[in-house]
A and B are shown apart, each in its own frame.
Chain A
């Protein structure tokens, strides 16, 4: 049995702001619930995919997990350690365990640093490496991500999108992390480059025994890349299952709609798609969301009883298949 590497307990991230209205004595409190009561666990050596539309809080969850932003409530466990509120030296040590690869390879690299400096900076800070040793390590990392060594003194603008993303991966790998949070690593790339980056990530995982949290909105990538899937909507987790299970038996109506909207190329792929479901409207605003089911406003199969169910929890319907639909849990 794989042991659990990372676990979140009722993780919340609210962005609170106050708005003063004319002649009001008290400010109006606006809470954007970007991540709301998320429970998930990541096993050692697996690839966990987080899917959802834009605005569903995927990136915020990823950033909370890697402690780039501080969660509002809840707990994050890394191994046996509670990392929710660690600061200073402890946090610096945690950075060696969890690293992140960002979405836009163009803007996540400093345009004034050359590739060598970009990859070397984390090692200078954490390992106190300098001089020849550092350069050797940079070269080793570059060959690991299949970047030509000639690029070592180039600047990011001279690189293609795929090469920039490889630099981002090399930088993340430089501290030998255990967990890598990949925030839409291929959404800015062309399909032919995307396939190469995904293969690289997979081979690196096999070689180094990494664990990935992959944030994406592309279900075809999820199907080919990940072991388990978490479906998010409006800051909440609606469904969680292993990839094969989710694609063969999607339970939540939102997952079904998401699957049916995936554009496919070949005729054989159509049998993986449930019947045509078209969602009306768009993802509602995450400001002061109700405590009922998050998907209620766009759900096609809702019943009147759905409106009375508050504080829904993820329920294990089958072994390993969790869902939050009030229907199914009845």
Chain B
């Protein structure tokens, strides 16, 4: 049985039909524009707006996209296998390289899984520091998304403004852990460093300033008719399809589903702080933009509260020198990353190494709906659709 038949009858047969038509070689003549045959077009893997090495096989009828078939694996590094070869703590740097624009959330998801597997209790100060880092990371990831998404669509100015603010966040990261992108800023059981002297004030200074910067981006884009023309009604994702495909994060919330792991299953310090989950209901590219802009404001709120409430005390739990998982144990821990639910499933076998590790990567799940979003769109909107899903190929291919 072909995969096309397997998927037929589910998900409105959209994906199944797409695959069947891609593989069907006998029936190529169809009623098309100007009575010519459909053209196959390769989008990527070197195209700059695929944000990595994603290859899309497009079938176009004139300017309309008839079919879209993503081909992945160009960045496959075997990370999950690599995890089995190293002790638990040594795998943290490898998680930096999954979603390489949001390393802190990857670190937290992995480290949280290890703590759940072994049963370590993290001191409160470390939990607050982790929350601060993750929310700053969310802002920086969304800024990078906005910058590249806008420049893909044709708005160049937000790119410079977004990178200006992202730079300040990366400087804060550099001050805390010594790296800007591949942070490696968490360890199983706690945090490796305490916050440097004056870091909180500099962070608060940035947070005071940042909402006015978001207003700047919104002033450039939100009511801009050109921006609206390119985004409103483009790539509509209905809520039921989003849930069936396992789409998470801002993509899901823009379709009207109020699901956020920070609220649903609070981890770290999220239970102690107040914040709202932005939800919109149209599920198009413009709504996803609105959701992410609002999420940045909420992240600012969370970090401010965490800085206020930051408790004193230890930053590292008392843990054995060599972390060993119990025999025949497993744990799944997931958090709300900037792109959606990122989770790690670890199986322990009594040795210092994980027996098996599986990464639930939000970009991979979100990429599945790209063929549905792209269907019947104009070729120029393919770039908008791809930008709005906010995929990172390091995470898709792993």
A binds B: no
Q: Which residues of A contact B (CB under 8 A)?
A: none
